[in-house]
Amino acid sequence: MKEEILKNFRDFIRKKGLKYTSEREEILQEILSIEGHFDVDELHQRLREKKKKISKPSIYRSIPLFKEAGYIQEVYRQDGHAHYEVTINKSPHLHFLCLRCGKVEEIVDPEIERLIQQKEIESGFKLVTHHLESFGLCKNCQLADTTTLAHLEKGEVVEILDLPSDVMCKKLLAMGFRKGELLKVVQVCGRTILVEIGNSRIVINKELAEKIPVRAVRTEKQVEDVPCELINKEENMEEICVLEEKEACMMQDEKASLQNNKTCPQGFLVKLFSKL
Amino acid sequence: MQKIRVVLAGNPNVGKTSLLNHLCGTTLTIGNFPGVTVEKKEGRAFFQDYEVHFVDLPGIYTLEFYTSLDEKVAVEYLNQGEYDVILNVIESPKLERDLYLTIQLVQLNKPMVVALNMSDEAEALGIKIDETRLSELLKVPVIKTEGRHGKGVKELLSAILTAHHKKLIPKLSMLPVQSVANPEPSTFDFTRLAQGLAKEVSQKSLIPKRNLSDFIDRLLLHPVLGIFFFFLIYYLVFKMVFDLSLPFVEFLDGFFSNFLSKGLAHLLTNWGMPEFLVEFLGSALIGGVGTVLTFVPTIFFMFLFITFLETSGYLPRVAFLMDRFTHRLGLHGHSVIPLLLSFGCNVPAILALRVIPDLKDRLVVMAMIPFMSCSARLVVFSFFAIIFFKNPLFVILGLYLLGIFFAVLTGFVLQRTLSKKELSHFVMDLPPYRFPSLNMLFRILWLHLKSFLLRAGTIIFAISVVVWLLLNLPWGEKNLENTYAARIGKTVSHLFSPLGLNDWRIGTSLIPALLAREAIISTLGVILEEEKAEKATPFDWKQTAKEELYSFIEALKKGLTSLITPYPSLFDTDDEAKDTQTTKDKIRGLFTTPQALSFLVFILIYMSCMATLATIWKEAGASYALFFFFYSLILAYLLSTLTYQTSRLILS
């Protein structure tokens, strides 16, 4: 099996008109023995442990070749460098990528494999490798997002997730609090916070605010930091649209131009959202 | 003439009062709802052979429940249905929120007129409301109004008549019919309907939202700067209230005692009236009226500025800002407003307590308020401090702080003993800053002033007369020590010897102070006046009138120039040149410094104002009022004794 791969690789190199080196073969051999995800540092470390003197730059130079040949693929980027996985001989699986923390979950389900095989047969397509990625927020990051009104800082904008049905919360409802509406924290002062909702400014104490679950949408400052042409997720787009019509209109234009220019580097995206 | 009863209902701060002011003009009165101390504003308007009677209800957010006494009164009033038409006042910029209440008001099945108030504010925010569409949907008249300028008020009146005649009961086809057969609480979602209605009738254009309120709030609600501005504003108000009023107080004092009283006596003697009647009319009656009126300038300016701060929207912000301090006492920021008002006068402060929803919180603050030095006490303090101390400012400030200390101590102890649960929730709507219309400001001011003159004024006047009688009866008794007043004073003064106040004249002056603290000075004045030998000064009408005119101009000038100087001229000591033989000089001879100090502490601590006691009595019951009356009396007795004994040791 391994031999076959190595033979294929030699053919691939030759076809490209490149020189075949034992160094490249050693790297590939090492990669094939790895299960799970890896980055260049890890790979370098493993080779060193096996007393193989291969420099990091050589590894960096080889990686694009392996990628091109379809042996490995980049799974995600974190802290400025990419993480890869071996694609060959691995059953098709789904990656759940967290946009915020960059965590990757592998979803392995025979159902996915079955579906792909079925489609393969139906379409008469010959599959070589798989690349299935879904982006979103992982459980931890979601929990970090949903907090209560009591824990917000000045300037934060949140969406009200729910209003409990006790009397004081009902009063808040009558005062203009609505489930699903956005509110902005204007000022926090000791035990009380001042929020703005619609055209109303309402003071509520933190004990009561503790009962109201909210989800962070953004803070005023961060939106200024993020260049909007990089945002191409429709959901997030809408959230911000509601906020400031003016700002949203500007972004709508950006979105249109984005659709023409379809290549949005995935790494950039992850980096961008990890900032949010 | 037919009568129509109209009730004004709406959310808080939607401008009901300013509309009412324009609707009713001078017929506006402020009273209480029967049995409770919730403010009730009423007025009448005469229109097309109808007498339209308006009642303003406290602001409410919903009819489903209530969380404060104010809301309870309003909800019950609306549910009882003893009115013909509901005037539903909506704050246009907050249309959706107000429609939520409107939908509930619709279910009361009463003729209704909707006033889209503050329509100018909504336009400034880019909100366009289609009132004809709203009128179609609700099937009642909808009128755009501007409470500040009174725009749309005439149309409101005719709309009310139409609604009354044609029985225009609002109907919303989307609302489920609440039948008697189906008494289970409706699970109908009012918010959805309100949202839908608001969307249907309003349009919002894109105007960048950056209004003045935002900017001012950034400064005034800043956790650090906000406190600074609060003290600055409070200082300015304090300074203006007293500096503007002081010259007028002095003028009125002189006008009554030097001009009217003497002039009348001169006139009556010439007519050959008996001596007793001359004295009684001249000194007791005119003097009494004079005493009452000297409080008018201070109370006028106090209510002017407090009402301004309240209607401009600053006072609720103070509650927000101060909550971090008051919550240590287990109290809401709400309680700062009544406590601050109590520096002006304890009685309105106790009435202002009804903004606090929780009964126990109310009781705690109520017990604290009498310790806060009201302006009446300040009159006595400054009067004495200027006479007896080199640094009257420090003495007055010290007394204020002592009062605050005991207020806090009392609050703290009560908070522990009233088996206090955790702090109840605090929710408050901050209205945008608004410049109140001067017309409304002065009308409210006048109503407060009138109620002072009628309630407190009559008491003070009565006391003055009684005191004069006590001092002059039995008639013909030349030796003061044999009058009724002196007999009472002598008995009391025995009790006061540990305090150093064993002079019968001091004891006597404390008796009327039970009814009004300011009366201390006038009583001492009367007592000392009687002591001096009859001084037969020839009275010249023309000359005195001219002098009084000059002194009035002087007062005006002084009041205005005092505004330019940065510190309160109230505490200036060098403007005593007017009369050489005034009451002040005589009081100087009556007290030693430790005695004066002990006297001031006593006046500060004990709840000597019957109006305050009566208000607490009404609000919290007789036992609570009497308990705190005796509590303050005992505390005052002990503290004064301590003050007298220690200060005597230090000064000797």
- For the domain that residue B127 is a member of, what is the CATH number? 3.40.50.300
Q: End of a domain among A58, A73, A90?
A: A90
Separation CA A221–CA B97 (nearest Å): 29
Q: Are B448 and B504 in contact (CB under 8 A)?
A: no
> Both A191 and A128 in a single domain?
no
pLDDT at B86: 92
CA dihedral B130, B133, B134, B139 (to 10 degrees): 150
Separation CA A203–CA B315 (nearest Å): 13
Q: Which of A78, A81, A90, A106 is nearest to A34 (CA)?
A: A90
Establish whether this prediction's ipTM goes over 0.90: no
- Which tokens go with B270? 């010439």
- Compare B649 and B504 and report the one with higher pLDDT: B649
Q: Which of A154, A175, A206 to mutate to test the interface with B (most CBs of B within 10 A)?
A: A175
Q: Are A83 and A74 in contact (CB under 8 A)?
A: yes
pLDDT at B516: 62
The count of domains in chain A is: 4
On the question of pLDDT at B180 being above 60, the answer is: no
Burial class (CB in 10 A: 0-12, 13-18, 19+), B194: buried
Separation CA B308–CA B121 (nearest Å): 20
Separation CA B601–CA B622 (nearest Å): 26
pLDDT at B528: 67
How close is the nearest chain A Cα to the Cα of B600, in Å? 37
Separation CA B291–CA B130 (nearest Å): 57
Separation CA B527–CA B512 (nearest Å): 12
- Which tokens go with B97? 């929120």
CA-CA distances (angstroms) from residue A178 to A235, B41, B128, B195? 21, 32, 22, 10
User: Which chain B residues have any C-beta within 8 angstroms of a chain A C-beta?
Assistant: 61-62, 64-65, 67, 93-94, 96-97, 100-101, 125, 191, 195, 206, 208, 213, 217, 221-223, 226, 316, 319-321, 323-325, 327, 332-333, 422-423, 425-430, 432
pLDDT bucket at B177, cuts 50 / 70 / 90: low
pLDDT bucket at B6, cuts 50 / 70 / 90: very high
pLDDT at B333: 76
Residue type, A87: T
> Both A77 and A127 in a single domain?
no
**Is A207 in contact with B96 (Cβ distance < 8 A)?**
no
Please spell the DSSP secondary structure of A187-251, one letter per residue. Answer: EEETTEEEEEETTEEEEEEHHHHTT-EEEEEEEHHHHHHS-GGG---HHHHHHHHHH-HHHHHHH
How close is the nearest chain A Cα to the Cα of B407, in Å? 22
Strand spans (E) along B79-121: 85-91, 112-117
- Which tokens go with A276? 């949010």
User: Scanning the structure block, which residue is given the tokens 């705190």?
Assistant: B628
Residue type, B428: M
Q: End of a domain among A219, A236, A264?
A: A219
On the question of pLDDT at A58 being above 60, the answer is: yes
The three-point CA angle A51-A54-A60 to 5° equals 140
- Residue A209 inside a domain? The answer is yes
- Residue B24 inside a domain? The answer is yes
Q: End of a domain among A192, A219, A246?
A: A219
Closest partner CB to A170 (pick from B65, B96, B97): B65
> Both A78 and A5 in a single domain?
yes
Mean pLDDT across the stretch B237-253?
Answer: 76
- Compare B267 and B532 and report the one with higher pLDDT: B267
- Residue B112 inside a domain? The answer is yes
- Residue B547 inside a domain? The answer is no
pLDDT bucket at B537, cuts 50 / 70 / 90: low
> Both A205 and A241 in a single domain?
no
Contact list in A for residue B191 (CB cut-off 8 A) is: 173, 178
Q: Are B301 and B241 in contact (CB under 8 A)?
A: yes
pLDDT at A89: 67
> Both A115 and A199 in a single domain?
no
- Residue B198 inside a domain? The answer is yes
β-pairing verdict for A104-107 and B427-430: unpaired
pLDDT at B313: 84
Contact list in A for residue B223 (CB cut-off 8 A) is: 187-190
On the question of pLDDT at B459 being above 80, the answer is: no
- Residue A141 inside a domain? The answer is no
Mean pLDDT, chain A, integer: 74
pLDDT at A218: 61
How close is the nearest chain B Cα to the Cα of A209, in Å? 9
- Residue A171 inside a domain? The answer is yes
Note the pLDDT tens digit of each residue in B562-608.
767 666 555 444 444 344 445 666 677 777 888 888 888 888 888 77
Separation CA B100–CA A248 (nearest Å): 29
pLDDT at B419: 54
> Both A113 and A169 in a single domain?
no
Give the contacts of B632 (CB within 8 A, at least 6 positions apart): B370, B371, B605, B606, B607
Q: Are B517 and B609 in contact (CB under 8 A)?
A: yes
**Is B32 strand, coil or helix?**
strand
pLDDT bucket at B115, cuts 50 / 70 / 90: very high
Mean pLDDT across the stretch B285-308?
Answer: 78
pLDDT at A95: 85
> Both A171 and A233 in a single domain?
no
The count of domains in chain B is: 1
- For the domain that residue A106 is a member of, what is the CATH number? 3.30.1490.190
Note the pLDDT tens digit of each residue in A236-256.
444 444 444 444 444 444 444
Is the CA virtual torsion B622, B623, B629, B632 positive or negative? negative
Of A149-153, A163-167, B146-150, B457-461, the one with minimum mean pLDDT is B457-461
Separation CA B106–CA B111 (nearest Å): 9
How close is the nearest chain B Cα to the Cα of A31, in Å? 57
- Residue B232 inside a domain? The answer is no
User: Scanning the structure block, which residue is given the tokens 């300015």?
Assistant: B236
Q: Which of B108, B115, B119 is nearest to B82 (CA)?
A: B108
> Both A57 and A126 in a single domain?
no
In whole angstroms, how large is the CA radius of gyration of chain B? 28
Q: By residue range, what is the domain housing residue A105? A: 93-136
Q: By residue range, what is the domain housing residue B143? A: 2-173+186-204
Separation CA B485–CA B472 (nearest Å): 8
- Residue A34 inside a domain? The answer is yes
Mean pLDDT, chain B, integer: 79
Note the pLDDT tens digit of each residue in B339-366.
877 877 777 777 777 666 677 778 888 8
Please spell the DSSP secondary structure of B525-587, one letter per residue. Answer: HHHHHHHSPP--PPP-HHHHHHHHHHHHHHHHHHHHHHTTSSS-GGG--S---S-SS-HHHHH
Burial class (CB in 10 A: 0-12, 13-18, 19+), B207: middle
- Which tokens go with B165? 């005649």
> Both A128 and A203 in a single domain?
no
- For the domain that residue A205 is a member of, what is the CATH number? 2.30.30.90
- Residue B141 inside a domain? The answer is yes
**Is A78 strand, coil or helix?**
strand
Residues in chain B, overall count = 652
Find, in chain A, the residue whose alpha carbon is nearest to that of B223: A189
**Is B214 strand, coil or helix?**
helix
> Which of A:230-269 have CB within 8 Å of B?
245-246
- Residue A142 inside a domain? The answer is no
- Residue B301 inside a domain? The answer is no
Beta-carbon contacts below 8 Å between A and B: 110
Q: Which of A200, A245, A177, A204 is nearest to B92 (CA)?
A: A200
- Residue A249 inside a domain? The answer is yes
- Residue B210 inside a domain? The answer is no
pLDDT bucket at B538, cuts 50 / 70 / 90: low
Residue type, B387: I
Tell me how far the alpha carbon of residue A174 is from its chain's centroid.
39
CA dihedral B484, B488, B491, B492 (to 10 degrees): -160
The three-point CA angle A83-A46-A73 to 5° equals 25
SS3 string of B163-190? HHHCCCCCCCCCCCCCCCCCCCCCCCCH
> Both A14 and A83 in a single domain?
yes
